[in-house]
Amino acid sequence: MIALNNLGKTYGTPGRQVEAVRDVSLEVLPGELFGLFGPNGAGKSTIVRILATLLAPSRGTAVVNGYDVVRQEMQVRASIGLVTADERSFYGRLTASQNLQFYAAMQNMPRSAIAHRIQTVLNLFGLANKAHAPVQSFSTGQMQRLNIARALIHDPAVLLLDEPTKSMDVQTSDFVKELIKTELVGRQQKTVVFISHELYEMDNFCDRVVILTNGQVQIVGTPAELGALLPRRAVYRVVVAGDVAAVAAQWQASPSIEAVQQVSAGVATTAFDLTLTDEADWLAVMQGVAAVNGRIETYRRVDDESLRRIVAHFSHAPAN
Amino acid sequence: MGKLLILTSHYLRLAWSYKLNFITRYLGTVVSVLLFFFLDRLLRANGNSQIEGGTYFTFLIIGGAFARYLELASHAFSANLRDEMLRGTIEPLLATATPVTLSLLGPSSWALIEGTLLVLLQLGVGWAVGADFSQANWVTTLVVLLISLICLLSYGIASAAFVVVYKRGDPMNWLINSVAYVFSGVFFPIELFPPWLRVISQVLPFTYALRALRGALMRGESLVERWLDVVVLLGFTAVLLPLSLWAMRFAVRHLKQTGDLTHY
């Protein structure tokens, strides 16, 4: 549905050039919910703006819904719905319905179909009761929902969502993400490119994620696939009771434990951070405690298991 | 054409949503006619109101209407484009299945139509209160207006191109506001200038347009009689229109390279 081949984008004049996107090649499948993740300045928005034909690539090619973004830009624009990061991008004095009517007409929708389509998208995003209210009376979250409704107005095959939940509260954000996943991708089989620089947005949401840093693809895969590529190192915080000194000595001698760090010591219990070379050894470590008259009161994993760690690993930056 | 109609009706609706502003534009036109009327009365009181074969009032009404259109054509494109950029609506518009140039220039469509209505209103009110168009040659007037309109739009298109590329510092507006108003003979005949200043008037297309319009409306002159003005005006248009379209094409290419239309 979307294919990028050695895509590159350079801004600036000769001598003062910034390479925003470098040799990006990837494919987004039909009906896929594809995450574009990376820190600020990674090139995510540049890629989306190239896909939306707002920017011309400096090198390489990009094809959306079978159309080349340079040579067939009108067909590309008819195939996509773009949600910009700026939720205020409406004619505030006009109503939601009048705004959508304008964009629907500009997207070549037949006049007879526009009213029904406006009703459909406003219903979908819980804005039916605001159809005749001026957009300037909308809350930021409502404007952002209207922003997505606008992108959907001509029923495009591809949705490009640049931080679509940026200004929403958690409940609205969850509602919109659920709508994207179940209704737009699940039922309507739309292809969605979802940009975010917030990791929690991608977890348990995107089918696949590409991690970009400095305009380059670091890795592409499902969150699970990316996690499986990580080293199997693990850090546990363990609170032990009993013969704490003997337990600590056992851990320090263990070849499967890379580091032992005492975090705190109470009257009856002491907390340690244990760094294991391989998380698979955790069970044996726990079982060994009883052999030296120790007892594990509580334990929990303290290294970040989310995409944050994956990003840090693949972009060679420290996780925080 | 369909898209142009959509854009026009949308921007009419938007203009009407600012009702007070909408109404004051029309009232302002009527008030400007009153200003010209009393300036004419002042000259009459001093025993001199005849100019270029008609009254000073008629001279001013034509000059004022032309100046309004001059200002509008040069400002409309850049001002409306700037509004779109500030509102953040230009990017969603550019992402629709609409040619880029139409998305950039289309927001001015209603402003240009409204400008024409305001000019007609000014001429109509002027006629109602005493401007003399009894000798007018309407064929010459229409032809000259049409050529002038295309010539003026060239300035407007070039102005929009400047806004796309530089955002501010539009030399077209400077040219109109600072030079053309004074040197084209909008409010007084250019013959009042010393010869060395008249050179500036002679390199402005508006001078020829206004002279031809006054000739047609005040003295009923035909295209044959005003042939020199018409030819010069056509010459300016033949040069300026392709230049402005080239500038717009350059601006669109620049926009595609930088994508910075969202910042102002």
pLDDT at B76: 82
Nearest to A21 by CA among A8, A3, A34: A8
Q: Going by DSSP bridges, is the β-strand pair A191-196/A158-162 parallel, antiparallel, or unpaired?
A: parallel
Q: In sequence order, which residues have a C-beta less than 8 Å from that of residue B57 and are 6 or more positions away?
A: B36, B37, B39, B40, B49, B126, B130, B131
Handedness of CA A98, A99, A102, A103 (dihedral sign): negative
State whether residue B85 is helix, strand or coil: helix
- pLDDT tens string B120-131: 898 899 999 888
Q: Is B88's Cβ below 8 Å from some Cβ in A?
A: yes
Of the partner residues B17, B92, B97, the one whose CB lies closest to the CB of residue A74: B97
Distance (Å, rounded) from C-alpha A17 to C-alpha A316? 24
- Residues A85, A142: Cα–Cα separation, whole Å: 14
> CA–CA distance from A117 to each of A113, A123, A154 (Å)?
6, 10, 8
List the structure tokens of B197: 């200043």
Query: Tell me, what's the pLDDT at A318?
Result: 46
Instruction: Please tell me if residue B18 touches chain A, with a CB cutoff of 8 Å.
Output: yes
Residues of chain A with pLDDT under 50: 318-320
Pair of tokens at residue B11: 């921007």
Q: Which of A11, A94, A103 has its CB closest to that of B92?
A: A103
pLDDT for A99: 96
- pLDDT of amino acid A2: 93
DSSP state of A185: I
Chain A residues bordering chain B (beta-carbon distance below 8 Å) = 11, 46, 49, 52-56, 74-75, 77-78, 80, 82, 84, 86, 88-94, 98, 102-103, 105-108, 150, 154
> Which pLDDT value is given to residue A231?
66
Q: What is the pLDDT of residue A311?
A: 66
Q: Which residues are registered as beta bridge partners of B51?
A: B54
Determine contact: B94 vs chain A, CB below 8 A: yes
Beta bridge partners of B173: none
3-state secondary structure of A40: coil
Determine the Cα–Cα distance for residues B12 and A121; give it in Å rounded to an integer: 25
* Residue of B96, B256, B262 best to disrupt the A interface, most CBs of A under 10 A: B96
Rounded to the nearest 10 degrees, the angle between the axes of helix B109-128 and helix B2-17 is 70
Which residues lie across from A8 on neighbouring strands?
Answer: A59
Q: Mapping DSSP to helix (H, G, I), strand (E, B) and coil, where does residue B97 land?
A: coil
At residue A320, the pLDDT reads 41
How many angstroms away from the CA of B171 is the closest CA of chain A?
24
How confident is the prediction along chain B (264 residues), in pLDDT tens digits per residue?
788 999 999 999 998 998 898 888 889 888 989 988 888 888 888 877 778 888 889 998 998 888 888 878 777 888 888 888 888 898 899 999 999 888 888 888 888 888 888 888 988 999 998 888 888 999 999 999 889 888 888 888 888 888 888 876 667 777 776 787 888 888 888 888 888 888 888 888 889 999 999 999 999 999 999 999 999 999 999 999 999 999 988 988 888 888 776 655
Q: Closest-CA residue in chain A for B4?
A: A106
Q: Residue A102: which of B10, B95, B256 has the nearest Cβ?
A: B10
Residue A306 phi, psi (nearest 5): -80, -175
Helix, strand counts (H, E) of chain B? 12, 2
**What amino acid is encoded at A253 in this protein?**
A
Task: Note the residue count of chain B.
Answer: 264
pLDDT in tens, B12-24: 999 899 889 888 8
pTM: 0.79
Q: Which SS3 state, helix, strand or coil, does residue A190 take? A: coil
Cβ within 8 Å of residue A276, ≥6 positions away = A233, A234, A235, A236, A256, A257, A258, A282, A285
Distance CA A7, CA A9 (A): 7
The number of C-alpha atoms within 13 Å of A197 and in the hemisphere containing its C-beta is 10
| B82/B105 Cα distance (integer angstroms) | 11
Pick from B239, B215, B78, B222: which is nearest to B150 by CA?
B239
* Burial class (CB within 10 angstroms; exposed 0-12, middle 13-18, buried 19+) of A236: buried
Cβ atoms of A148 and A87 closer than 8 Å: no
- Which of A55, A77, A94 is nearest residue B96 as measured by Cβ atoms? A77
pLDDT at B232: 94
Q: What is the pLDDT of residue A319?
A: 42
Type of residue numbered B194 = P
Please judge whether A94 and B99 are an interchain contact, meaning their C-beta atoms are less than 8 angstroms apart.
no
Determine how many CB atoms are found less than 10 A away from the CB of residue B42: 11
Report pLDDT for B69.
82
CA distance B74 to B182: 16
ipTM: 0.83
Name A13's Cβ contacts closer than 8 Å, sequence gap at least 6.
none
Q: What pLDDT was estimated at residue A9?
A: 92
Distances (CA, A) of B51 to A183, B60, B81: 74, 10, 40
Helices assigned H by DSSP within B129-204: 138-166, 171-174, 181-183, 195-202
Write the residue in A91, A98, A107 that is nearest to B96 by C-beta. A107
Sign of CA dihedral B71, B76, B79, B83: positive
- How many beta-carbon pairs below 8 A join chains A and B? 75
- Using CA atoms, how far apart are residues A318 and B91, in angstroms rounded to an integer? 36
Q: What are phi and psi of A96, to 5 degrees?
A: -60, -45
The contacts of residue B262 (CB under 8 Å, 6+ apart) are A84, A86, B85, B88, B90, B91
